[in-house]
Amino acid sequence: MEEENISKISELELQKCNEIITKIQNYYSEKMVGQYRLKVSLLAAVIANGHILLESVPGLAKTTAAKVLTEAVSGQFSRIQCTPDLLPSDIVGTQTFNYATNTFETKLGPVYANFVLLDEINRSSAKTQSAMLEAMQEGQASIGGQIYKMPEVFIVIATQNPIEQEGTYMLAEAQLDRFLLKEKLDYPTKSEELEILNRIEKDVFSQSKPVLDLKSITYLQNVAKKVYIDDSIKKYIVDIIDATRNPSNVISEDLAQYVTLGASTRGAIAFMEVAKAVALINGRSYVTPDDIKSLRYSVLRHRISLSYAAIADNVSVETIIDAIFGAIPTP
């Protein structure tokens, strides 16, 4: 494809985006060891101005990654430790009565920040989880009948621990669908773990110096909207999403029987937005099929529901995703 014929993005804009992205990636690499997939997913979520769910056992730097991203762009960071007794008002805010002025005053909650870390979101009750729905989807929240807008750059980074079930509440499908991406973190290699110890010893993680400001992020977001995506690739996305809903049409019945629910239209939108972000990260002003494939697990793993039989037979959602992508012709 001829980039100059299809691109609405100038060379100057593309160059500036590359500089911004490189600065963020370098800062991330200085603070974090390994976790390349997490770096790309976080950056894609920021560029698409979407939310991301991180899943792993404790101690794999989920919180550190969120803080590093915030530090890099000098954003406002807010951390909410989710517990079963956490109330919606603890997140969104509430009205308090001021006896001195004889009036009600609104106290905004910690959700009003650029980067909000919801630590162990599955430990909060369903009522509290639902309090985030309006904020995440609509970019606003209501307190005492008054609507309060979220900041222009508003990213929710939620974490959950998959190994503990006691005192946890499963996220509803409607809540999961609000997350642009779901990333799973793995243990570091031995060499990476050794490097982590060396950096801890040198106190690297406590040294923070922003390399950008929030205007750089909004610039990336605005340019990403202009990234070209061909109709053939849009059709490719639609075919993939349709295959998650009707898997028996494209993959073997042995695998299709495990799928109980496919992706919604929000999944198709997520694919398009993430693909544009990935194209920009790779220094291009147009989307290729590889941009769709690169974060396919992160886009789909929380949007496809499997039966209990899949768990019993040790069939993962990633296996279903690979089967679908293997069956759909690449444009």
Domain boundaries, the chain: 25-202+210-226, 227-331
Q: List pLDDT tens digits, range 248-261.
A: 999 999 999 999 99
Q: List pLDDT tens digits, range 178-229.
A: 899 999 888 888 998 898 888 888 877 666 777 888 999 999 999 999 999 9
Which residue, among 247, 244, 246, 249, has the nearest Cα to 263 in the 3D structure? Answer: 244
Top CATH class of 227-331 equals mainly alpha
Q: List pLDDT tens digits, range 41-52.
A: 999 999 999 999
Is the model's pLDDT at 4 over the cut of 60? no
Q: List pLDDT tens digits, range 141-189.
A: 888 778 888 888 999 998 887 765 555 566 777 778 889 999 988 888 8
Which residue, among 75, 79, 46, has the nearest Cα to 64 in the 3D structure? Answer: 79
- pLDDT for 134: 75
Is the model's pLDDT at 9 over the cut of 90? no
Q: Does domain 25-202+210-226 have CATH number 3.40.50.1000?
A: no
Q: 22 Cβ partners below 8 Å, 6+ apart?
A: none
| pTM confidence score | 0.87
53, burial (CB in 10 Å: exposed 0-12, middle 13-18, buried 19+):
buried
Query: Residue 306, SS3?
Result: strand
Q: How far apart are CA 247 and CA 24, in angstroms?
A: 39
**pLDDT, the chain, mean:** 86
- pLDDT for 99: 82
Cβ atoms of 325 and 301 within 8 Å: the answer is: no
89, burial (CB in 10 Å: exposed 0-12, middle 13-18, buried 19+):
middle
Q: List pLDDT tens digits, range 89-114.
A: 888 888 787 787 778 778 888 889 89
